[in-house]
Structure 1
Amino acid sequence: MIQPSAQRSRVIELTEEIKLHSAPLRRIVSEVNHVLVGQEKLVHRMLIGLLANGHILIEGVPGLAKTTAVASLAKAINTGFQRLQFTPDLLPADLIGTLVYRPQEQTFVVQKGPIFSNLILADEINRAPAKVQSALLEAMQERQVTIGTETFPLAQPFLVMATQNPVEQEGTYQLPEAQTDRFMLKVIVDYPNRNEELQILRRMSKTAAKFDIAPVTSPAEIMAARDLVDQVYVDEKVENYVVDLVMATRTPQAYGLNLDELIHFGGSPRATINLTLAAKANAFLAGRGYVKPQDVKEIALDVLRHRVIITYEAEAEEQTSESIVREILAHIPTP
């Protein structure tokens, strides 16, 4: 068992390492901000997904620079990037690839699809039907793709950043619950404020507004940062706080919350894992070698909002999964 003094020394040492290895992440933010205005939270969440090896679902109405944000992040990292435009006529083979028959050789050969890259932008993912969305499941969870009888590992880092319009928009399909659970974070992008809107006007109101983003880091530096994220210290009190938050979405009555009739399904164990990893990544970005309860609280809404499935009673009372998660966060004592 590690003694408290030894643990403190390791945390101090780790903090110094993190300050050194977080420099590439700061360079990414600087480059992306050359293009984006007022999307600090979105950029921050994308970096958390990158560090914690978790996929991100970005939701917002058209025109809020969701696609631009993901494309800018990909350009700032010297790695593979593929943009997949999801449409109603898209087929699973268009994503993962297929077997192609060569009559001259009388054999089938594997034709790999665009999923075989590092950063994948699944643009407007909810415009494709469920069978296409489900084609991403194995790649997102297992980091591998099966074509025919062969299984191919995907290169690291591998990250899916999907954008979607709200389900109220015409021509969209609601994502299957099994797939939304594979996303570590669901980030809601809102309209910019007036000052930000004015900056956007001045920066982008050109017939050919182009911004060059230089690659400022490499996959090797990202993987090295991930190794440090794994070492970030999580105290037992913080661990219990994470577990209580997730358990409160399943059995709210046990925590004194009158929400049983409003929640159909709560967060799975994947929610517990992702909340811990995201909190570690948040601590890393703050330059710390240990997780604070505030790290958990700051990221919990994005981790849990798409994992709490509400009942018809909740909809009748005009409750949303987000409002329920906020109530849980306000009720569970912070250590």
Structure 2
Amino acid sequence: MNAEQWNALYPVGTPVFAYPGFRPEDASDARRLVTRTRTAAQLSASGDPVVWVEGEGSYICLTHVDPVAEDVWEEARAAEKPAEPEAAPDTPVRLSPEREAEIAARAEAATPGSWEANARIGIVTNKVGDPLAVFGGGAQDRADAGFIAHARTDVPALLAELAAVRAERDAYRERALDAENRSLIDGREVCADCGRPVPDGPCGAHSPDAVYQQTCREAAQLRAERDQAQGRVAELEAERHTTNEALSDAAEQLRRDRDRITELESAAEEIRHLHKDSPMGPCPVCIDADAMVRGDDYTLPYPCPTARLAGAKDFDPPSFRIEEPVR
């Protein structure tokens, strides 16, 4: 059955049994979805008739989708008794080192390079246009495709930022611990920075509390510098985008100007050809109206004023260099 025949018989929302992988007659472990269609049937890039169903991100060939009656579908749905989805926690769970390693491994194993999302039909492609994931054509499908496409660069960036922040934290923690350990030597209070005994209490400039406060100030300054650098990167990206657009506009205007110059040069050549001298006399087009009224010779020698404007040289053809009569 082709896509046109399917759409004529089964509207969007038809109850179906769908098999994303193998059909049950081809594999004993075939997975069956008791679901409904969420798009009309259409042709895939390979020319196969396909349809999208609820609960599945990718399209499924019509050969693997079986329409069923509503009561049959309800019975199968009840028999499956799907588990209630686990509610997402109100606050995200902090990453463990193991989960962070799993995320990094998945990011490393994914197709390299930047990914892009087709905003019209919800397809995620790599940088050369090869499809990586196919969604439906709805607004949520397009949003999901955009999220997945940006995750290819967002996830590594977040992991790098997490590693940098943890490194900063560990360095500050080590400094604070070192200061605390050095604050007492042989039962005497000493300066945490220079190690000299301070008999009357902690050194005001180098006590553990002062070191901690200074560390916090340095950390705040480093974060501010990092945020400033990230803002500058964003500005440069915006400037690059604006510059690319301006260059494209200038190149397009240059092509239009070049085409116009070619048109004008062609028109000038036509004018010169039209107003050039001929065996019948001087310019075959232009006349001197005042001379005609006076009854004088009203022909104009080549080049006539029109030919001059078109770029003709300032000389007459040899066959018409005739001395004017003496009056």
TM range (shorter): under 0.3
Greater strand proportion: 1
TM-score scaled by structure 2? 0.22
TM-score scaled by structure 1? 0.21
